[in-house]
Structure 1
Amino acid sequence: MTVDQADLKARAEKLRELHSGEMLVLPNVWDAASAEIVAEAGFPVVATASNAIAAMLGYPDGEGAPWQEMFAAAGRVARAVSVPVTVDAEAGYGMQPRELVDRLLDIGAVGCNLEDTDNRAGGLVEAGAQADWLAAVRSAADDAGVPIVINARVDAFLPTSGIPESDRLAEAVRRGRLYRDAGADCLYPIAVGDKDTVATLVAELPGPVNGNSGGSLDLATLRELGVARVSYGPRFYRAALDQLKSSVQELRG
């Protein structure tokens, strides 16, 4: 399915609009078949999961897979559906902002996750440098004429961030504000598992917040807390593998 510039712009505008209404639920996909299932179920957006795609391709998460293979897989997802597609682009694979935007548009994507983990040096990218990079991505998208929706992932709560646990909330808020000022459309503080922290983030961050469901954070609770967007990462990919494992074990008797 080939998408022209006008269609890409319309899909990007639709994706952005969906962040300001009813909570946007994104069951993340990993290939064309899973994308078709999600779209046919009536979900208005399809989102990829980099962890699942990398695993499917035989690589570790965290930019362990060549970007060419990751983008090829995401492109097959985008061609399989007619709804907006947002791609988990990890930390951008070392691309310059203009190249990243061009490659996203080339595969038919109108949104992206961009994380602040430094997959090469470890820890997090310095907050100001990450904000500058996001601003450059925003500028490149504007120049391209397609308002790509940037979901800026804030990795302060991950143990690999190197941030002391007592400082993670304040650092997540600080980074989120910088990223929003830089042009991010949505902020994604990943690995938050309790209601109080989610509530504080929603109150303190200036813009839509992406959350994850699990444990006490079911969809109804996240909706009540004011979360704008919910994603699932590799959860459904792993569930599919678990089902396959169960089925083949049953065949073995």
Structure 2
Amino acid sequence: MTSVERMSATDETRRKGTELLRLHEADELLSVVNVWDAVSARTVAAVEGTRALATASHSIAASFGYEDGENIPVALMLEQVGRIVAATDLPVSADLEGGYGDAAETVRRAIGVGVVGANIEDQMKPLDEAVRQVEAIMRVASEEGVDFVLNARTDAFVLNREGDPDENLATALERGRAFLDAGAPVVFVPGKLTEAQIETLVEAFGPRRLTTIGIPGTPSSAWQQEHGVARISYGPLSQNVALTALQQLAEDVEQRGGGIPEGTRILN
């Protein structure tokens, strides 16, 4: 049986799960810069103050030439996630999209490679179906004996970008509360949220139960910490930052005869 197929949590995995849950419940905001391979994981983990890592499914898929949206084979996704886990001693949460057809089983396999948290999209499925999915995932975590940090994601904003913001917020509130009642410790509401929307979500969910995404134009991390947000993630934006720097180097070399920028660090 390969490491990806192994389905039993180790003591080390259980320890990391408890630590990741503690980091979400602590008063200090948890910021995670998302990674997509072993070298990006080691690079981010080496930064002082980094306490946990999260993968970005979009970034992993792109690095293998796949479009986002569960087009990458789940075995390949989990293999890459396992490499990231092995590259660091920090707790790792994995972005597992909508669960690749069987979210609970995918989470069980992810726990088998040392993952202790996951984003799982609701993809705006009927609410009762989405709630059953949360319940099934948390049941698997209990069976494995892991304090698994399910970052239960609702796509209320991202799948209805042109919709009425008040209606999107009401939908996120309804679905988020239902996911918390089903056992999820945290709810992820990606989108360009305003201060007022974040305050409403935190009031409804309780302090340290909301994850946001750090896209340009959202409230500062200091403000979000002060107002009870548990975690900020950066999704595929971190890979975009890295690729922008790479493309700018290529432009400088090809168009201006430049070279490696001063101050470049040798990181691998």
TM-score, normalisation: structure 1: 0.91
In the TM superposition, residue 216 of structure 1 has moved relative to its aligned partner by 4.4
Give the deviation of 1:219 after TM superposition: 1.1
What CA distance in whole angstroms lies between the structure 2 residues aligned with 1:96 and 1:212? 22
CA distance in 1: counterparts of 2:69 and 2:101, whole angstroms: 12
What is the SS of the residue equivalent to 2:67? coil
Amino acid at match of 1:171: T
Letter in 2 for 1:231: S
- Aligned ranges for residues 92-241 of structure 1 at < 5 Å? 92-95=99-102, 97=104, 99-117=105-123, 124-160=124-160, 164-206=164-206, 208-213=209-214, 214-241=216-243
TM-score (norm. length: structure 2):
0.86
- In the alignment, what sits opposite 1:8? 13
Residues 162 and 132 (structure 1), Cα distance of their counterparts in 2 relative to 1, 3 Å cut: farther
Determine if contact 1:5/1:146 at 8 Å carries over to the other structure. no
Distance of aligned partners of 1:233 and 1:25 in 2 relative to their CA distance in 1, 3 Å threshold: same
The CA distance in 1 between the partners of 2:158 and 2:247, in whole Å, is: 30
Separation (CA, whole Å) in 2 of partners of 1:61 and 1:250: 30
Q: Tell me, yes or no, if the aligned pair for 1:86 and 1:109 is still in contact at 8 Å.
A: yes
Cα distance, 1:166 vs structure 2: 3.6
1:36-68 residue CA offsets vs partner (Å, 9 max, x unmatched): 111111311010011111111111112121111
Q: In structure 1, how many angstroms separate the alpha carbons of the residues matched to 2:140 and 2:246?
A: 42
* Cα distance in 1 between the residues matched to 2:201 and 2:172: 8
1:36 alignment partner in structure 2 = 42
- 2: CA distance, partners of 1:35 / 1:225: 29
Instruction: Verify the 8 A CA contact 1:152 1:184 in the aligned structure 2.
Output: yes
* Residue aligning to 1:247: 249
3-state SS, counterpart of residue 18 of structure 1: helix
Q: Is the alpha carbon distance of 1:53 and 1:212 closer, same or farther for their aligned partners in structure 2, counting shifts above 3 Å? A: same
Q: Which moved more, 1:160-169 or 1:31-40?
A: 160-169
Q: Which runs of 5+ in 1 are unaligned?
A: 118-123
Tell me by how many angstroms 1:31 deviates. 0.6
Q: Please list, as runs of the form range in 1=range in 2, the aligned pairs for 1:37-76 lying within 5 A after superposition.
A: 37-42=43-48, 43-76=50-83
Deviation for aligned residue 1:81: 0.3
Give aligned-pair identity as a percent. Answer: 35
**CA distance, structure 2, for counterparts of residue 67 and residue 182 of structure 1:** 25
Tell me how far apart the structure 2 counterparts of residues 12 and 192 of structure 1 sit (CA, whole Å). Answer: 29
- Contact (CA 8 Å) 1:156, 1:163: kept in 2 or not? no
CA deviation vs aligned residue, 1:69-106 (integer Å, no higher than 9, x gap) = 11111111001001111100111000252x22321122
CA distance in 2, matches of 1:155, 1:16: 23
In the alignment, is the contact (CA less than 8 A) between 1:192 and 1:198 conserved in 2? no
Post-superposition Cα deviations, 1:182-209, rounded to whole Å, max 9, x if no partner, equal 1101111111321111111111124610
Tell me the C-alpha RMSD between the 2 structures. 1.8
Amino acid at match of 1:142: S
Assess if the C-alpha contact under 8 Å between 1:155 and 1:161 holds in 2.
Answer: no
Query: Are 2:24 and 1:19 equivalent residues in the alignment?
Result: yes
Rg larger for = 2
Matched residue SS, 2:25: coil
Counterpart AA for 2:52: V
Stretches of structure 2 that go unaligned for 5 or more consecutive residues are 257-268
